[in-house]
Amino acid sequence: MTGTDLRAAQARRTRTAIRAAALTLTKERGYAAMTVDDVAALAGVSRRTVFNHFSSKADLLVLGPEAPEPQALEAFVNGTGTLLEDLGALLASGAEAVESERGWLLSFPEIVRDNPEVERAIHERLRTVALSLIDAAGRRLGTAPDDPRTRAVVALAMGIQRSSVDLWSGRAHPWEQGGPEPSADAEAPTVRNECPEVRLAEAIHVMTRAIADVVAQPQTGGRPDSAPGGPPTDPPR
Residue pair 66/97 in contact by the 8 Å Cβ criterion: yes
Does pLDDT of 219 surpass 90? no
Distance in angstroms between the alpha carbons of the first and the last residue of the chain: 37
Please give the pLDDT value at position 185. Answer: 44
- Region 204-221: mean pLDDT is 88
In the chain, the domains with their CATH numbers are 1-56 (1.10.10.60), 62-215 (1.10.357.10)
Which H or E element spans position 162?
Answer: helix 148-169
| 3 state DSSP class of 171 | strand
* Integer Cα distance of 189 and 170 in angstroms: 13
* Integer Cα distance of 187 and 199 in angstroms: 29
* Integer Cα distance of 42 and 27 in angstroms: 14
Which H or E element spans position 14?
Answer: helix 3-29
Residue pair 26/108 in contact by the 8 Å Cβ criterion: yes
- Could you read off the pLDDT of 181-208 as tens digits, one per residue? 444 444 444 444 445 578 999 999 999 9
Please give the pLDDT value at position 176. Answer: 54
Please give the pLDDT value at position 186. Answer: 40
Q: Calculate ∠ Cα 16-21-23, nearest 5°.
A: 95
CB crowding 203-218: b at 16 or more within 10 Å, else e: bbbbbbeebeeeeeee
Please give the pLDDT value at position 136. Answer: 98
Lowest mean pLDDT among 2-11, 60-69, 178-187, 224-233: 178-187
